[in-house]
Amino acid sequence: MRVHPLHTDIECPKRFTYPFCYEPHPLCLLAAKELQQEIQTMTLTEGKMFGVLVVEDGDGKLGFLAAYSGLLEGRNDWPYFVPPVFDAQQPDGYFKLAERQIKDAANHRQMSQELQMWLFTQYRLLNARGEERDLVSIWQDYHSSERIRRKYPLPPGGTGDCCAPKLLQFAYRQGLKPVAMAEFWWGESPRTEIRQHGQFYPACRGKCKPVLTWMLQGLEVDPNPEERGLPQLDIEVVYEDDWMVVVNKPSGLLSVPGRIGTHSVATILHQRFPNSMLAHRLDMWTSGLMVAAKSRSVHAALQQQFSDHTISKRYVALLDGVPSRRQGRISLPLLSDPINRPRQVVDYERGKPAVTDYELVDDNRVWLFPHTGRTHQLRMHCAHPDGLGCPIRGDELYGRPDDRLYLHAERIELNHPVTGVRQRFEIEAPF
- Identify any residues that bridge with 53 across adjacent strands, giving them in sequence order: 65, 181
Let me know if 234 is a catalytic residue.
no
Rounded CA gap, 104 and 7, in Å?
A: 54
Active-site annotation holder among 283, 308, 347, 363: 283
Active site residues: 283
